[in-house]
Structure 1
Amino acid sequence: MTSITHPEPHSSTLEHDARVITADHGRVKPAEIAVGVVIGRASEYFDFFVYGIASCLVFPTLFFPFASRLDGTLYAFVVFSFAFIARPVGTAVSMAIQRRWGRGTKLTIALFMLGTSTVGIAFLPGYETAGVLSIVLLSVFRVGQGLALGGSWDGLPSLLALNAPAKKRGWYAMLGQLGAPVGFILASGLFAFLHASVPREDFLSWGWRYAFFVAFAINVVALFARLRLVLTTEFERLLEEGELEPVHVRELIRDKATNLWIGAFVPLASYALFHLITVFPLSWIQLFSEQSITEFLLVQIVGGFLCAAGIIASGKIADRVGRRYTLGSLAVGIAVFSGFAPTLLGGGTLGQDVFLLVGFTLLGLSYGQASGSMNSAFGPRFRYTGAALTSDLAWLLGAAFAPLVALGLSAHFGLAYVSVYLLSGAACTLAALAINRAIARED
């Protein structure tokens, strides 16, 4: 690959100092890039799942006590979706910040905003104290989380993909995805401990807030870990060689709109499944089942480990049979699984546990290659911005409203609508793969 240098003007003092400090860091190895990817994604997903779990267990009672338990949970899921709506905006703004002031400044602002929004939620008063203002502030902080997540893209997954040997691209693509089960396991474990150890009244009053304080602390640690890697001279050289620099979002949409939409729809089966086995089941159990919340969270933790194992296995499978075939086969598997979802969810404790464990396994196998499909959808010039914006759109289309739609439809019309939602995601993935294959043949 031809080396193209794009020096970043107006580089901040922070970045200059960091480069001086880390000038002797030496050549960045793929293993170091992988560690940075996992640390960054795990901290983001921990933040993400702490909010998701609180939306099921805490926010309906704390912020929407005037509504029924079902309606309060639906209102909480509406606010939950705000981050996904704001995320593409955060990406567009952060790309402009990086072009003007540098990558390190952009990442620092994003993670500072994420930490501030997270700890801000921990200090929020409930509706009984502040009235509608509490809901407004919750919404503002949730939008802040979304803007921050859009700005936290550091290009590490794309760099991993570029440095992957020809026969190990699937293996390298899955590494960044491991942050999801790590973050989920930590968040579920913390809430399981708090829910089991603190009386319900205290849990709803102050116990849940500890999870958000922990999320803030993890974000601080992750910030320094990622900056230490991102701001090395060697890392910047690798990014420049790979042409991993931001372009104007307007230019991306104008020249690569087809790639953008196909890239967003390819992983939709995985993204639709994502919230239907993490956030939605917890709300369903809370509202309509007699199963212990603590026990259910522990089963989800086991599912998180199965998901991690599936992600690792997906790297081997994709390298053996190809990423497109892997994603297509798993989409068919998710479609088949959707047919059993109503029976399992309505089948008592055993059925619900089977739904979780099988669902997490399928999620790991499919989600493990989701980022790879996004990175491969663009050429060098557009890969950095394209991969970030494609991911944002995939989350928005596939996952943002999944808990809201699944809970609302299943509560009013039956669990069969969970199957319809999953089936639609699988159909979108298969259609996008078919279109992508047709375009590749034509080219």
Structure 2
Amino acid sequence: MSSTSISPDKAKKARTVAVASYIGTTIEWYDFFIYGVAATLVFRAQFFPEFSELGGTLAALATFAVGFIARPIGGIVMGHFGDRVGRKSMLVTSLLIMGIATTLIGVLPTYDQIGVWAPILLVVLRLAQGAGVGGEWAGAVLMAVEHAPPKRRSLYGCFPQLGLPSGILLSQLVFLVLTGVLPEAAFSAWGWRIPFLISAALILVGLLIRLRIEESADFERVRAAGQVEKLPVVQVFRRTPLQVLVGSVASIAAPTLGYLVSVYMVSYGTNTLELPTTTMLWTLVGVSVLWNGIMLAAGLAGDVLGRKPTFLIGAALSVVWAFPMFWLVDTGSLFWIFVALVVITAANSIMAGPQPALVTEMFPVRLRYSGSSICYQIGSIIGGGVAPILATTLFAKFGNPAVSTLIVVISLLSLFAILFAGQRILQAQEPTAPQAQQSRLQPLAE
């Protein structure tokens, strides 16, 4: 946008889109994370009863990680069509894919009922979940950022990010209610299915909201100017390779922290520290409430202090806190566990808050859905899919110091990626129509 302000009507629409993006991503992350909670609590017994306790836990977490394999596929396919036909239609598609897959998991027979087909079908549905959420993030972020006032793009862009802690919060609350109301045997036998079936109703709500919002004005201008790319994914790698590299590496640390807290720590607290499941879930509920507030503050800081400085502060905090976090958690004190998790989620929030604006601004509008989606999915595969399994394996062999070292290494990678990135990489220049045609044969990053 060339103007520095927008009309009251556009401001109202921008707020509506931001809230709609937040609600939609909350529903999708709820779907995604009820799987993670179920994987740590019941999937070992229901789908992998022939494995040892460690082997079954790793197998259950592996099915959680399988979703990350499909995420780049969903991101690439929906990125292609998002840059060609629009952002809004892809958001509706991603929500439907995720909702249908999640609901079907809720009625899936177990290993005792259909044998090896149970884990096979579980993996298939998890792949569908991954494809759905793979196209979600970039679309929701772009709708929020591209509708936002020019000086508040970081703040508005963080609203879809709020879906992560809010989805965790919602999933934890549902499981807490069920584990509190149902006997343990009933919960393990059939009660775990209820959170997945609730998804059907939530998806209807999300669809009603998303069908009412308008297409991004930035995309409409690109389409009206005839600048829509035929193969946007190909052009992203051909013309913005450095942006893809920087954006992908920068996108590793935040999901690493998010998934370690929401998935690995539940397993660690219940299996290693032998804390009650409800204790760990309630702790995460409290952490998730603060998580949302810190994320909003970080999004605003991205507009006031700048995207780059804000992100670097979060990455540095993650490095500093990696070892003290486990020292506090291992005390077994609920207070210190809570403090440890609040600080590490603060590091996550300070990076994740400005991340949508930071990454999307690396790419011109006509490549933005594909480019930002690819970066986010690559980062999430490493940070969210591999990290929990690697953390579990490292802990089994070397203990907590190895897990802390993993956090330090990943955080430093993201920190250095942004620290050494120049303005030419961090801020895409929008060419005119003739320039856009000429630049098809030239890279944007040299």
User: Normalization by structure 1: what TM-score?
Assistant: 0.87
2:430 aligned residue:
none
Q: Please give the alpha-carbon distance, in whole angstroms, between the structure 2 residues aligned to 1:289 and 1:239.
A: 51
> Residue type matched to 1:111 in 2?
L
CA distance 1:404–1:189, shift in 2 (3 Å): same
Aligned counterpart for 1:55 among listed residues 39, 60, 63: 39
Q: 1:198 to 1:38 in 2, by over 3 A?
A: same
Does residue 1:341 correspond to 2:325, yes or no?
A: yes
Question: Which residue, out of 292, 300, 310, partners 1:308?
Answer: 292
What do residues 411-430 of structure 1 show as CA deviations (whole Å, max 9, x unaligned)?
22201111112111211112
SS of the residue aligned with 2:109?
A: coil
Does residue 1:388 correspond to 2:373, yes or no? yes
Q: Give the letter for the 1:209 counterpart.
A: R
Structure 2 letter corresponding to 1:270 = A
Q: What is the aligned partner in structure 2 of residue 239 from structure 1? A: 219
Change (3 A) 1:165 1:115: closer
User: Contact 2:11 / 2:149 at 8 angstroms: preserved in 1?
Assistant: no
- Does the residue aligned with 2:211 lie in a helix, a strand or coil? helix
Partner of 2:284, secondary structure, is helix
The DSSP-based 3-state class of the residue aligned with 1:363 is helix
1:160 aligns with 2:140: no
- Confirm or deny: 8 A CA contact 2:146 2:216 kept in the other structure: no
Q: How many residues align?
A: 417
Mapped partners of 2:255, 2:399: distance in 1: 22
By how many angstroms is 1:27 displaced?
Answer: 9.2
Aligned mate of 1:132, from 91, 112, 116: 116
Deviates more, 1:132-141 or 1:401-410: 401-410
Q: Structure 1 residues 242, 304: CA separation in 2 closer, same or farther (over 3 Å shift)?
A: farther
Residues 178 and 308, structure 1, Cα contact 8 Å, conserved in 2 = yes
Give the CA deviation at 1:376.
1.5
The equivalent position to 2:282 in structure 1, one of 294, 298, 303, is 298
2:24 to 40, 43, 51: 40
Matched, 1:400 2:385: yes
Secondary structure of residue in 2 paired with 1:278:
helix
The answer to whether the 8 Å contact 2:72/2:134 transfers is yes
Q: Distance in 2 between matches of 1:111 and 1:89?
A: 16
Q: What CA distance in whole angstroms lies between the structure 2 residues aligned with 1:162 and 1:151?
A: 17
CA distance in 1, matches of 2:114, 2:277: 28
Contact 1:188 1:301 in 2 (8 A): yes
**Residue 224 of structure 1 aligns with which residue?**
208
Correspondence for 2:244: 260
Q: Confirm or deny that 1:183 pairs with 2:167.
A: yes
CA deviation after TM superposition for structure 1 residue 184, in Å: 1.2
Residue 358 of structure 1: how far off its partner (Å): 2.1
Which amino acid in the other structure matches residue 403 of structure 1? P
Q: Which moved more, 1:290-299 or 1:157-166?
A: 157-166
2:44 counterpart SS class: helix
Q: Can you list the C-alpha shifts for 1:342-382, whole angstroms capped at 9, x where unaligned?
A: 31232213343332222223322222122122111112221
Q: Residues 61 and 69 of structure 1 are in contact (CA less than 8 Å); yes or no, is this contact kept in structure 2?
A: no
Q: Alignment partner of 1:399: what SS?
A: helix
d(CA) in 2 for partners of 1:99 and 1:239?
A: 8
CA distance in 1, matches of 2:252, 2:88: 31
**One-letter code aligned to 1:293:** T
Amino acid at match of 1:283: S
> More displaced, 139-148 or 317-326?
317-326
Match of 2:419 in 1: 434
Q: What amino acid maps onto 2:94 in structure 1?
A: A
Cα displacement (A) at 1:434: 2.7
The amino acid of 2:184's aligned partner reads R
Segments of structure 2 that go 5 or more residues without pairing to the other structure are: 3-8, 427-444
Give the aligned residue type for 2:61.
F
Q: CA RMSD in A?
A: 2.6
Q: 1:256 to 1:369 in 2, by over 3 A?
A: same
The Cα of 1:238 is off from its aligned counterpart by 4.9
Q: Which residue of 2 aligns with 1:414?
A: 399
* SS of corresponding position for 2:74: helix
Contact 2:88 2:210 in 1 (8 A): no
- The 1:227–1:346 alpha-carbon spacing in structure 2 relative to 1, beyond 3 Å, is same
| Partner deviation per Cα, 1:260-287 (whole Å, 9 max, x = no partner) | 1211112322221111111100011221
Q: Is the 8 A contact 2:26 2:167 kept in 1?
A: yes
Q: Aligned with 2:34: secondary structure?
A: helix
Q: Note if 1:352 corresponds to 2:337.
A: yes
Matches within 5 A, 1:74-153: 74-96=58-80, 106-152=90-136
Q: Which amino acid aligns with 2:390?
A: V
8 Å Cα contact 2:18-2:157 kept in structure 1: no
**Which whole-Å CA distance do the structure 2 matches of 1:50 and 1:180 have between them?**
12
Change (3 A) 1:101 1:386: closer
Residue 21 of structure 2 contacts residue 143 of structure 2 at CA under 8 Å; is this kept in 1? no
Structure 1: where are the runs of 5+ without partners? 3-24
| Match of residue 202, structure 1, among 169, 172, 186 | 186
* TM-score (normalizing by structure 2): 0.86
Deviation at 1:163, TM superposition (A): 4.2
Deviations 1:276-312 (A, max 9, x none): 1111000112211222211221111010011011111
Structure 2 counterpart of 1:413, one-letter code: F
**Contact persistence 2:325–2:341 (CA under 8 A):** no
Assess, with a 3 A threshold, how the Cα gap between structure 1 residues 68 and 355 changes in structure 2: closer, same or farther. Answer: farther
Partner of 2:409: 424
